[in-house]
Structure 1
Amino acid sequence: MNDIDEIDRRILSALQRDAGQSLETLGAQVGLSRNACWRRIRALEEASILTGRIATVDAARLGLGLQVFMQIRTSAHAPDWLRKFSEATRAMPEIQGVYRMSGDLDYLIRARVADMAGYDALYQRLIARVPLSDVSASFVMEEIKETTALPL
């Protein structure tokens, strides 16, 4: 299923814009019947190309107006440390993404918090759960582009 066709691409593009639209509306956009759209979506899900359907939420309206990128360096690279780090970061709902990086940086964390006090609380909880060599943070001043949509 890795070889998707143009109709699958149009379905995926439309779902990335609005996953809540009806099958009738989606079918009209891509030129298929409701049932044909449903079969295509099921096939994309079964092939793990379409992995979920979500709603996007305005973080600032929910009191989570500060986005932070935490740059993590560690001197520990043992499997036990990585397991603890993974468990700790997965358990913290403020953390939206954790990435193992190449180069000088070991890990990059993307998180959403209410304010600087919220960041400090997150930082304190993280360092209490797993030893880190260095943590620095960059705070987003303006979001110019934020999307989950892939270029199809």
Structure 2
Amino acid sequence: MSSSDDRPDEAHTRPAGVTDETVEALGKLSEALEVVEQARGFLYGFHRLTGRADLALGEAADLLDAAGQQELAEHLRTDVIGRNVIHGRWTFQVVEDYDDGYYATVRDFEQTARDDLVGGRRHLFEAEMKEERRTHGRPHHEARPSDD
């Protein structure tokens, strides 16, 4: 391994003149975006689970019919199945509102801040943490993947 292979690549190196405070602030923005991404994943999980529940409710209505419980089956079909989960919205509409509103705003702001402050470079805070924490020259502590 050459000495240049034991340094981070340019995409993960702080541009000249960028302060510690700027790298820390961008790291916090990145952390916030990661949490928003995780929340988005939970929201998609909520969307999928609610859809699965609605389909299972449909199967339950069919089984109630087969068991001679037509009144209960009809009540389930008319009052529960296909019901909005939030006033006026099915889960896909909640997901779309989140994606187009909060999620897009946070994602775009984080991108703009990186573009404006460090030429779009990502994860500078983490890259510098890696440099501080890894044992230089040891296997499995390389700065970056090898070309092998």
**Which of the pair has more CA radius of gyration?**
2
Structure 2-normalised TM-score? 0.23
Asked which structure has the greater RCO (Cα within 8 Å, sep 6+), the reply is: 2
Structure 1-normalised TM-score? 0.23
